[in-house]
Amino acid sequence: MAKILMQTTIPYAEDDWNIGRFSLLQELLSKEHEVVARNREDGPRGLDPVLATLDLSDFDEMWLFALDTGDGLRGEECRAISDFRRNGGGLLVTRDHADMGSSICDLGGVGAAHHFHSRNVDPEIARLGRDDRDTPTIDWPNFHSGSNGDVQEIIIQAPAHRILMRSDGSLIQLFPSHPHEGGVSAPPDDATARVIAKGTSTVTKRQFNLTVAFDSAGDEGNAVAESSFHHFVDYNWDTRKGCPSFLSEPPGNAILKNPELLDDVKTYCTNIAQWLSKS
């Protein structure tokens, strides 16, 4: 059993993606692990007391949902999180479109896997520009993998990573979809990192990276960089759970009609939790 921290980079706000909107993931992970779920809280000197001392904690792994617009993590917190991984802690770090969550760029290793509109810019994404064109307020990277509430078929990169395998050895096929996913890639100077899953845009048909895995050697913890927190949030698993008022796109209903479409992402999450704890 691992001790897992589920953490947002934003303080609690009812009409936002607060940690309570990840309740289905928390329920899933709690079946096999001890899970602490919390929002950002500013303590002395504006530092979150848990994030700023994560390297001294007894957590085995952290699932970090970067929901800020660039100011969600302070330098001292980034150093503590980076040291946490260097000391063996596992990290999943996810964000969304454009500059959402861009404070994670200062994280060691896994931060370099995330590309934003104005930080750590991927020149290829910048050259091709917008993918989702239906929401003009959201700029690139904004890959359109489908409607919230529907699923997308993923393209697994060989050799298939263990977190993408079902218990019988077959490969998962589906992730929840989202109209504007972010951009991730494997940092070219990190031999432990590789893209393990891709998606296909429903708008331009171009492929984009969904997941980067860091298979770390020695004492350093494993890590996952994910293109969108919408693969994990309640609304994309069950649209009846609701969403913040600023989300304007109409949802799909594929998962409501067939809840078994979630089986793959649940397997994926269970696998990640085990792999990040190196158990």
pLDDT digits (tens, 9 = 90+) for 237-268: 999 999 999 999 999 999 999 999 999 999 99
Q: Is domain 3-276 in CATH 3.40.50.880, yes or no?
A: yes
**What pLDDT is stored for residue 279 in this prediction?**
62
- pTM for the complete prediction? 0.97
Q: What are phi and psi of 267, to 5 degrees?
A: -60, -45
Contact criterion met (CB below 8 Å) for 168 and 128: no
What tokens were used for 59?
Answer: 């957590």
HEC sequence for the chain:
CCEEEEEECCCCCCCCCCHHHHHHHHHHHCCCCEEEEECCCCCHHHCCCCHHHHHHCCCCEEEEECCCCCCCCCHHHHHHHHHHHHCCCEEEEECCCCCCCHHHHHCCCHHHHEECCCCCCCHHHHHHCCCCCCCCCCCCCCECCCCCCCEEECEECCCCCHHHECCCCCECCEEECCCCECEECCCCCCCCEEEEEEEECCCCCCEEEEEEEECCCCCCCCEEEECCHHHCCHHHHCHHHCCCCCCCCCCCCHHHHCHHHHHHHHHHHHHHHHHHCCC
Q: Which residues of the chain have pLDDT under 70?
A: 279
Q: Give the C-alpha separation, 54 to 78, whole Å.
A: 10
**What pLDDT is stored for residue 133 in this prediction?**
87
pLDDT digits (tens, 9 = 90+) for 197-237: 999 999 999 999 999 999 997 889 999 999 999 999 999 99
Burial class (CB in 10 A: 0-12, 13-18, 19+), 122: middle
**What pLDDT is stored for residue 214 in this prediction?**
98
What tokens were used for 204?
Answer: 């331009």
Taking the domains of the chain in order of start, what are their residue ranges?
A: 3-276
Q: Give the C-alpha separation, 111 to 82, whole Å.
A: 9
Q: Which of 1, 26, 240, 268 is nearest to 154 (CA)?
A: 268
